[in-house]
Amino acid sequence: MFNKNVIAAGTLLALGALATPSVAADYKGPNLKGEVVSITCPWTGAEEGMFQKVIDNFEKATGATVKHSCSQSSEQQIVIDIKAGSPTNISVFPQPGLAANMAAIGGLTPLGPKAQDWVKKNYAAGSSWADLGTYKNKAGKEEFYGMFYNVNVKSLVWYIPENFKEKGYKVPKTMEDLQALTKKMAADGGAKPWCIGLGSDAATGWPATDWVEDMMLRTQTPEVYDGWVNNTIKFNDKRVIEAIEAYGWFAKNDAYVDGGAKAVATVSFKDSPKGMFGSPPKCYMHRQASFIPAFFPDGKASDADFFYFPSFAGKKLGNPVLGGGTILTITKDSKGARAFMEYLQHPQAHEIWMAEGGFLTPHKGVDLAKYKTPALKKQGEILLGATTFRFDGSDLMPGAVGAGSFWKGMVNYSGGASAKDVADEIQKSWDAIK
């Protein structure tokens, strides 16, 4: 399955580095000499090396030995090991859905209310993060199981500041402002307001699901979003249709989209932002997650900047942020495992990786100056300014929907189908798997 949460580690490094940060305040952990902590994780390549530096600091402070096994197939290995009764002490899940499944079969160890309260108090939009780590156990009782660590932001709009400056355009602060700017750009002629592409081979359609998820958070309460994700609120509910049409306001208007509305479904998501870099440009803005600079033209990433995909001032729903991230859980309890999870509460466990790049955290206690690049610092500020955080909805839905009918439905919608007809078809696919 296409994983839109992990595409290119550290792609924002090209946007300019800050000065080397100072060493963070030392973490002082318990004496764990002789204790061995085993971890299964998804980070490979450069990311694995960055995680190793976080581990090194824990080992130095505690005397423990940490043995980690990172691979791209870690999800499958975690499930196999849990079901065989031989998991590692800590398992890192790339999304909470699978962690919830493992909690339901008794595969995770609760972290307890103290850890849950810590997240609520010390993470921006802390209740959101606590809820995302809370699942039903084997008996059906909800308990807190997971700590989010290394997250990403999807609620971003990319643009070229020089293009804006030349035309006198200002970065919008509200969704109403963004709509007004879109209208003005279209009226001015020349470049279109938006570059949008849904093409992604067998995964074609997924970029539109991110748009709709962002619009759900900007037109409805977080509780409605949650109900939509678990289908207690049906996909063809009028509130969901409203969010689809809010995306369509931008994407289904020929005057607003480079190549016209029907071209959206056939243009590759990798190629669509390139129109911003032409001289003259073909389009001014591109809504996409933090990984997209990996697909900007060579040597041009530093020309780009981004702003928060804004909320509607009139709806008074705060500043929601859509994103993803990895969640750490205890799958085999031990003194060392508990200590490592408590280590993640210390700012240094975050700042070490922040200084390496390719890392974001909602931890309110970190020094933002530790971020390796201005772009990462800016995204960190967006995270800290969030009033609500929600995980990518399609990743939490059953695969046949979130990575199936939802993708296909967005392609059909872009091709001219109505939001209601598309929503009806997606709900039918959900009903078929119940």
**Number of C-beta neighbours around residue 45 at 10 A:** 11
Q: How far apart are CA 331 and CA 99, in angstroms?
A: 10
- In this prediction, residue 9 has a pLDDT band, given cuts at 50, 70 and 90, of very low
Main-chain phi, psi angles of 222, to 5 degrees: -55, -35
* Domains of the chain from N-terminus onward: 32-144+322-386 (3.40.190.10), 156-319+415-432 (3.40.190.10)
Q: Is 287 helix (H, G, I), strand (E, B) or coil?
A: strand
- Which residues are CB-contacts of 358 (< 8 A; sequence separation ≥ 6)? 9, 10, 11, 12, 13, 46, 47, 50, 376
Q: What is the pLDDT of residues 155-205, one digit of tens each?
A: 999 999 999 999 999 999 999 999 999 999 999 999 999 999 999 999 999
**pLDDT per residue as tens digits for the range 45-78:** 999 999 999 999 999 999 999 999 999 999 999 9
pLDDT of residue 122: 98
**Model pLDDT, residue 19:** 36
* Distances, alpha carbon 360 to alpha carbons 55, 61, 349, in Å: 17, 23, 12
pLDDT of residue 61: 97
Q: What is the pLDDT of residue 16?
A: 37
**Tens-place pLDDT, residues 391-407:** 999 999 999 999 999 99
Per cent of the chain over pLDDT 90 is 93
Provide the pLDDT for residue 17: 37
Residue with tokens 């060579």: 298
- 320: helix, strand or coil: strand
Cis peptide before 280 (omega within 30 of 0): yes
Question: DSSP label at 73?
Answer: T
Q: Say whether pTM exceeds 0.85.
A: yes
> Could you give the 3-state DSSP secondary structure of residue 282?
coil
Render pLDDT for 142-158 as a digit per residue (tens, 0 to 9).
999 999 999 999 999 99
Q: How would you classify the pairing of strands 65-70 and 283-287?
A: unpaired
Rounded Cα distance between 132 and 257, Å, is 35
In this structure, are strands 142-144 and 134-136 parallel, antiparallel, or unpaired?
Answer: antiparallel
Q: What is the mean pLDDT of residues 240-268?
A: 96
Other Cβ atoms closer than 10 A to 147: 25
The tens digit of pLDDT for each residue in 121-150 reads 999 999 999 999 999 999 999 999 999 999
